[in-house]
Amino acid sequence: MSTQPDAAPPRGTTQPGPATLVVRTTAVDDLDADPGALVRLLPRDAPLAWVRRGDGLVAWGEAARVETSGPDRFADAERAWAALRERAIVRDEVWLPGSGPVAFGSFAFDDRSAAGGVLVVPRVVVGRRGGRAWVTTVSTVGSVATLPAHRTLEDVTAHTADGPAEPPGTITYTQGSVADDAWMAAVEEAVARIRRGDLEKVVMARDVVARTTEPLDLRWVLGRLADEYSGCWTFSVDGLVGATPELLVRSEKGLVTSRVLAGTIRRTGGQEADLARAAALAHSSKDLEEHEYAVASVAQALEPFCQSLNVPEVPFVLHLPNVLHLATDVTGVLCPGTDGAPSSLALAAALHPTAAVCGTPTAAAGAAIRELEGMDRARYAGPVGWVGGDGDGEWGIALRSAALDPEDPHRLRLFAGCGVVAASDPEAELAETEAKLEPMRHALG
Q: How many residues bind ligand ISJ (CB under 6 A)?
A: 19
Give the interface segment with ligand ISJ, choosing from 167-175, 259-267, 275-283, 314-322 (CB under 6 A): 259-267
Check whether the bond before 10 is cis (ω within 30° of 0): no
Should residue 398 be labelled a site residue for ligand ISJ when binding is judged by CB under 6 A?
Answer: no
Beta pairing partners, 171 = 212
Q: Using CB under 6 A, pick the residue from 41, 416, 421, 443 that binds ligand ISJ.
A: 416
Burial 81-99 (b: 16+ CB within 10 A, else e): beebbeebebebebebbbb
Catalytic option among 67, 200, 228, 246: 246
Of 78 and 429, which CB lies nearer to ligand ISJ in the complex structure? Answer: 429
Which DSSP symbol is given to 305? G
Should residue 201 be labelled a site residue for ligand ISJ when binding is judged by CB under 6 A?
Answer: no
Backbone angles phi, psi at 106, to 5 degrees: -155, 135
Give the interface segment with ligand ISJ, choosing from 50-58, 113-121, 260-268, 336-344 (CB under 6 A): 260-268
H-type alpha helices, 49-101 = 73-87
Q: Using CB under 6 A, pick the residue from 399, 404, 414, 440 that binds ligand ISJ.
A: 399
Q: Using CB under 6 A, pick the residue from 208, 346, 418, 443 that binds ligand ISJ.
A: 418
Of 102 and 416, which CB lies nearer to ligand ISJ in the complex structure? Answer: 416
Should residue 261 be labelled a site residue for ligand ISJ when binding is judged by CB under 6 A?
Answer: yes
Of 262 and 347, which CB lies nearer to ligand ISJ in the complex structure? Answer: 262
User: What is the secondary structure of 14-59 as a DSSP string?
Assistant: PPPSSPPPEEEEEEE----SSTTTTGGG--SSS-EEEEETTEEEEE
Of 205 and 306, which CB lies nearer to ligand ISJ in the complex structure? Answer: 205
Should residue 203 be labelled a site residue for ligand ISJ when binding is judged by CB under 6 A?
Answer: yes
Find the shortest distance in angstroms from Cβ 266 to ligand ISJ.
11
Of 103 and 324, which CB lies nearer to ligand ISJ in the complex structure? Answer: 324
Find the shortest distance in angstroms from Cβ 351 to ligand ISJ.
13
User: Which residues lie below 8 Å from residue 150, measured CB to CB, with a gap of 6+?
Assistant: 26, 28, 135, 137, 156
Q: How far apart are CA 43 and CA 440, in angstroms?
A: 21
Find the shortest distance in angstroms from Cβ 354 to ligand ISJ.
8
Is 432 catalytic? The answer is no
Q: How far apart are CA 193 and CA 187, in angstroms?
A: 10
Should residue 403 be labelled a site residue for ligand ISJ when binding is judged by CB under 6 A?
Answer: no
Of 334 and 437, which CB lies nearer to ligand ISJ in the complex structure? Answer: 437
Should residue 417 be labelled a site residue for ligand ISJ when binding is judged by CB under 6 A?
Answer: yes
Find the shortest distance in angstroms from Cβ 327 to ligand ISJ.
9
Q: Using CB under 6 A, pick the residue from 80, 248, 357, 444 that binds ligand ISJ.
A: 357
Ranges assigned E (strand) in 368-409 = 383-388, 393-397, 401-404
Q: Taking Cα atoms as reference points, which of 244, 21, 225, 243 lies closest to residue 142?
A: 21
- Are 396 and 246 within 8 A, CB to CB? yes
Find the shortest distance in angstroms from Cβ 429 to ligand ISJ.
8
Do the strands 306-310 and 2-5 form a parallel or antiparallel pair, or are they unpaired? unpaired
Check whether the bond before 361 is cis (ω within 30° of 0): yes
- Count CB neighbours of 375 within 10 A: 16
Beta pairing partners, 174 = 209
Q: Distances from the Cα of 199 to the Cαs of 138, 232, 352, 359, 429, in angstroms? A: 48, 31, 18, 8, 18
Beta pairing partners, 252 = 255
Do the strands 393-397 and 401-404 form a parallel or antiparallel pair, or are they unpaired? unpaired
Please list every residue from 35 through 94 that binds ligand ISJ, using CB under 6 A: none
Please list every residue from 231 through 250 that binds ligand ISJ, using CB under 6 A: 246
Find the shortest distance in angstroms from Cβ 376 to ligand ISJ.
15
Of 138 and 298, which CB lies nearer to ligand ISJ in the complex structure? Answer: 298
Find the shortest distance in angstroms from Cβ 225 to ligand ISJ.
14
Please list every residue from 117 through 176 that binds ligand ISJ, using CB under 6 A: none
Find the shortest distance in angstroms from Cβ 414 to ligand ISJ.
10
Beta pairing partners, 265 = 324
Find the shortest distance in angstroms from Cβ 102 to ligand ISJ.
26
Burial 141-154 (b: 16+ CB within 10 A, else e): eeeeeebeebeebe
Catalytic option among 78, 200, 201, 432: 201
Per-residue x/- track, 262-301, ligand ISJ (CB under 6 A): xxx-------------------------x-----------
User: Which residues lie below 8 Å from residue 197, measured CB to CB, with a gap of 6+?
Assistant: none
Is 253 catalytic? The answer is no
Residues with catalytic roles: 201, 246
User: Under the rule (CB under 6 A), what is the footprint of ligand ISJ?
Assistant: 203, 205, 246, 261-264, 290, 325, 356-357, 399-400, 415-419, 436
